Chains A and B, each alone.
Chain A
Amino acid sequence: MGLDVKWALDWLKLSAKAMEEHRVELIELDRAIGDSDHGENMDRGFQAVVQKLDETPPETPGAALKAAAMALMSKVGGAAGPLYGTAYLRAATSLGDTNDIEAEALAAALAAARDGVVARGKAELGDKTMIDAWTPAVKAAEKAAAGGADSLAVLEAAAEAAEKGAMATDPLVARKGRASYLGERSAGHRDPGAASTALLLRAAAEAAAGSTGDTGADAV
């Protein structure tokens, strides 16, 4: 069995928990090179996501991600709203009506999400944005899926690559977003968007570990 709606719900709820726990950290990252609202915006946005999912429980992972997209686009306020909103929306479209996401489809959904962020934000790899976490994550996920890994292993590979990608933004000079106004002074700080992307993908892997654990499936 691949991942189902329970995984999607767990993912979004663990995401909300991660945003709450890392709120101050993200605010501080954003204070260094942006407008210091990222942690607060993401926390508020994911609270709205959880509320919406509780009000209208979705039946498929795609429906869950679509509901999350709408909530994020309406409640986040900053650039992260339309960016993450588009990411979840494109992932939802890529998944369709399935309730059984296998590794290949999962990697394809992550790629669709990343493509959505690129289309919306027009950033490229190395611009010191969330793309620097998304793109390594997608590459790692595609490689894992092609190598026969299961959904959990795909997400773990993606999360690890996103974390490394986020750390690798530290020395970069920002070329997109509010941080780009700082020019050279943006170097030496981690990009808050890349940091939140790594947290969200880690939550996806944790949710998958929980889901597969519940069903007694082999976690590797």
Chain B
Amino acid sequence: MTVGIVVVSHSSKIADGAVELAAQMAPDVELVAAGGTDDERIGTSLEKVLAAVEQSLVDSGGDGVVVLTDLGSAVMTAESAVEFASDPDAVLLADAPLVEGLVAAAVAAQSGAGVEDVRKAAEAVAFGNVPAGVGGPEIPDNKGEPDASGDFELINPLGMHARPAAKIAGGLSGLEAEVTVNGVDGMSIMALMALAAGKGSTLRVEASGKDALKAVEYVGRLVEEGFGEL
């Protein structure tokens, strides 16, 4: 069982398409689309969203549900659905860009993260066209020496692409550490992808905070295992 994910969009095509995209990277995660109105117009429907949330609560077998939304009223409809849900405390709304946030959340759920961490993984994806290193939670610069660091050579054939980036960001979001990878925020999928690090290139991981060592080891293990692609 993994955390369940519900996608709320004004458009059923967007919701279905986003689910299809994320499912490629998270085959074991139950993703439920709730897009459009009851009569398939553009808009959101409490009934549809609530049904999706309830289905997801069942699918996730008590692990909890994270909801991702698109524009304004989708957020309001999702909030209403949480209020009506049979177990409101088990349903978390993620404030994240729909597609990137969904992919990050789905990969985090696939790797067994808990409901809070799945939401964090989604929210670590920054809104807007952020330059590398600026996305996600703020990382103070000029901090001096990191508490832990390591250099790891990418051995998987495709190097750093969406799934490895999502795995790194998703796992790190559950740790109490500020982590940079080649100088960019380790919790920002977009920033990690923007590194465009290919096979054979080296990732310099620097971490500070309580879980600094764990964070470096986590990234190191992922890289050494080729992100499960070998």
Where the two chains meet, the residues of A that have a C-beta atom closer than 8 Å to any C-beta of B are 37, 41, 70, 73-79, 81-83, 85-86, 120-121, 177-178
Contact = CB atoms under 8 A, between A and B. Distances in A.
A46 to B, nearest CB: 15
Contacts of B73: 78-79, 81-82
Contacts of A70: 46
Contacts of A79: 72-73, 76
A79 B37 CA distance: 12
A73 B43 contact: no
Contacts of B72: 79, 177-178
Interface of B: 37-38, 41-48, 72-73, 76-77, 79-80
B43 A76 contact: yes
Nearest to B47: A74
A5 to B, nearest CB: 23
Given A41-B43, A82-B46, A77 B37 contact: yes
Nearest to A77: B43
28 contacts: A70-B46, A73-B46, A73-B47, A74-B38, A74-B45, A74-B46, A74-B47, A74-B48, A75-B45, A77-B42, A77-B43, A77-B44, A77-B45, A78-B73, A79-B72, A79-B73, A79-B76, A81-B46, A82-B73, A82-B77, A82-B79, A82-B80, A83-B76, A85-B46, A85-B80, A86-B76, A86-B80, A121-B76
Contacts of B44: 77, 81-82
Nearest to A73: B46
A175 to B, nearest CB: 13
A79 B38 CA distance: 15
Contacts of A37: 43
Given A177-B72, A178-B72, A78 B43 contact: yes
B41 A120 contact: no
A73 B49 CA distance: 10
Nearest to A86: B80
Contacts of A73: 45-47, 77, 80
Contacts of B41: 77
Nearest to B72: A79
A120 B77 CA distance: 9
Contacts of A78: 43, 73
